[in-house]
Amino acid sequence: MQPQRYEGEASVTAIDSLMLEAKHAIMEEHHRRFQTLQQEGRWEEALQEIQVTLSCAADLLNESLRVLEEAVDGYPAVPLPIQQPHSE
């Protein structure tokens, strides 16, 4: 599958997008479960569910970072301007 390219944007494959969307949906579902358990006062189960939710969030962030790093690596390096010392 070829990366989608838009002028001025990094390339992200459709597979990457689908994977991120799926992981986001899974995380949201666990968060909803946590909120329901919390509202029902089922604290032990809510604690277990928030741990799963946080694990999903960490996975989503790591995957997002991987996609971002791959997109940035695809662009040529831009030299940063060198600041000259101010003479006083």
- Tally of CA atoms within 13 A in the half-sphere of 44 that contains its CB: 0
State the DSSP H helix or E strand holding residue 68, giving kind and residue range, or none if neither: helix 43-73
d(CA 35, CA 58): 19
Q: Is the pLDDT of residue 83 over 70?
A: yes
Taking only the tens place, the pLDDT of each residue in 52-63 is 999 999 999 999
Q: Would residue 33 count as lying in a domain? A: yes
pLDDT of residue 35: 97
Q: Is the pLDDT of residue 32 over 80?
A: yes
Q: Determine contact, residues 56/30, Cβ cutoff 8 Å.
A: yes
Q: Is the pLDDT of residue 47 over 70?
A: yes
DSSP 12: B
Q: Is the pLDDT of residue 20 over 90?
A: yes
- pTM for this entry: 0.69
Q: Would residue 5 count as lying in a domain? A: no
The range of the structural domain enclosing residue 36 comes to 14-73
Q: Determine contact, residues 10/74, Cβ cutoff 8 Å.
A: yes
Q: Would residue 3 count as lying in a domain? A: no
Q: Would residue 1 count as lying in a domain? A: no
Number of domains into which the chain is organized: 1
Q: Would residue 47 count as lying in a domain? A: yes
Q: Would residue 86 count as lying in a domain? A: no
Rg (CA), the chain: 21
